[in-house]
Amino acid sequence: MREVGTSARLAHFICMEIAESRARPAPVRQGQRDTGSLAERFRKTRALSLALAQPLSDADATIQSMEDASPAKWHLAHTSWFFETFLLRDRLSGYRLHDKRFPFLFNSYYEAEGQRIARFSRGLLSRPTLEEVIAFRHAVDEAMEALLGREDCAELIALGIAHEQQHQELLLTDIKHALFQNPLGPAMFASLPATAHKPGEGWSEHEGGICRIGTDFDDPGFSFDCEGPRHKVLVEPFRIANALVTNGEWDAFIADGGYETPSLWLSDGWAWVQREGIRAPLYWNEDEHFTLAGWQGRDPDAPVTHISCYEADAYAAWAGQRLPTEAEWEVSARSHDPAGGQQLDRAEAVQPAATDAMFGSGWQWTGSAYLPYPGFKAPEGAVGEYNGKFMSGQRVLKGASCATVRAHSRASYRNFFYPHQRWQFTGLRLAADA
């Protein structure tokens, strides 16, 4: 974010303060393909959120299918709460809150901003209506025009843009999970977009050695605190697949008894499979799968997604390979364009397509635990809660998905989820010792 004069350390400090806990944010670096003035990016981002929600009814936008997810209406309001709270309220003289009740409803987890509705109760917010939330957004956008040209607001505006882009991905994955609960299989969009199929093949060899991974806060662009500090790791020679595992390959795993063979599974994974009755990736049913365009036939060449880390690890064992470590993945990805691949460019029914890109299509599970890097220190006080306190029991994912806004990916970014979670577009890329 150097174009708006952002200090990387200040940026990560502020973002830790204001981002939603457990939102699983996509990277927030403004990449070389995210061009245009700050004001243009603000307007474009705000318009995309509304375009994504345009096909939804008030009922669609209100439902919450599980505690991990949030209603679409809540995402639209929360991102507006961000701009109203940290910019309009604090930076625009004479500004009055659009509705004094909204901070309680649309604050995420920020303790300093006072009490808030419990996360699992967001789906009970039948009021305000979707129409009222959209009116709130328009009022915030109109008031923000007075701040878009102010240099002293540029850092927070850039962070607010990035924050909203994170919630655009969440809006899509959360509403997909919600619509899937309906026996009618409703479609959010009329059809899936046409995609150019370019399946990857083969493997890339890496000689390993002493490698530096992570990022430093004086590097150009934005990074979260958990991505640093940059440090040395010993990487043994390895090879990594040039493509993600496909639906067709996963069909073969199922046909060979992959979900019925305990020796392939981690102990916790096998217990999860038995307890939950797991027999296929989320959203699969025979030769169809549920998409944002309703039930569709599966493309055997497209990457498999909506799998847990347990499933990814079992598949790797079945294939005689393993998951890459996050260091191996990062070393491999540095020669690839992070803004390439299939990512979110417009309001449409995103769905992974065959690709040879390192980034995009689906987040990729690694074999690495989400733990602090050597020398990591969480900021003091409440700001240290955002990433550091979640460094327990979770796995790192790398890359980006088809629902990730373009230019929101970088090699050092560390996404993280619990190993059983799979409602995001999560897939896998195999690795092996050389």
Domain limits, CATH 3.90.1580.10, in the chain: 203-433
The residues near 131 (Cβ < 8 Å, ≥ 6 apart) are 58
Three-state secondary structure call for residue 417: strand
% the chain with pLDDT above 90: 74
% the chain with pLDDT above 70: 88
203-433 — its CATH code? 3.90.1580.10
The average pLDDT across 273-277 equals 98
Q: Are 41 and 161 in contact (CB under 8 A)?
A: yes
pTM of the model: 0.89
Q: What is the pLDDT of residue 387?
A: 58
Candidates 425, 370, 415, 360; CA nearest to 393 is 370
Judged against a pLDDT cut of 90, whether residue 28 lies above it is answered with: no
Q: What is the pLDDT of residue 223?
A: 72
Per-residue pLDDT tens for 314-373? 999 999 999 999 999 999 999 999 888 899 999 999 999 888 889 999 999 999 999 999
pLDDT band (50, 70, 90) for residue 29: very low
Q: Starting from the edge strand earliest in sequence, which strands make up the sheet with 426-427, in order?
A: 415-417, 395-398, 363-369, 426-427
d(CA 66, CA 152): 39
Q: What is the pLDDT of residue 31?
A: 37
Structure tokens at 91: 């930076």
Q: What is the pLDDT of residue 252?
A: 98
The residues near 9 (Cβ < 8 Å, ≥ 6 apart) are 217, 218
pLDDT band (50, 70, 90) for residue 389: low
Q: Are 133 and 363 in contact (CB under 8 A)?
A: no
Q: 303 - beta bridge partners? A: 246
Q: What is the pLDDT of residue 406?
A: 86
Q: What is the pLDDT of residue 379?
A: 64
The average pLDDT across 63-74 equals 97
Per-residue pLDDT tens for 87-104? 999 999 999 999 999 999
Judged against a pLDDT cut of 50, whether residue 13 lies above it is answered with: no
- Helix or strand (DSSP H, E) at 364: strand 363-369
Per-residue pLDDT tens for 138-167? 999 999 999 999 999 998 898 889 889 989
Mean pLDDT for the chain overall: 88
CB-neighbour burial class of residue 322 (10 A; exposed 0-12, middle 13-18, buried 19+): middle
The average pLDDT across 174-184 equals 98
CB-neighbour burial class of residue 369 (10 A; exposed 0-12, middle 13-18, buried 19+): middle
| Number of CB atoms found within 10 A of residue 6's CB | 21
Candidates 60, 210, 235; CA nearest to 133 is 60
Judged against a pLDDT cut of 60, whether residue 134 lies above it is answered with: yes
d(CA 167, CA 26): 9
Judged against a pLDDT cut of 80, whether residue 36 lies above it is answered with: no
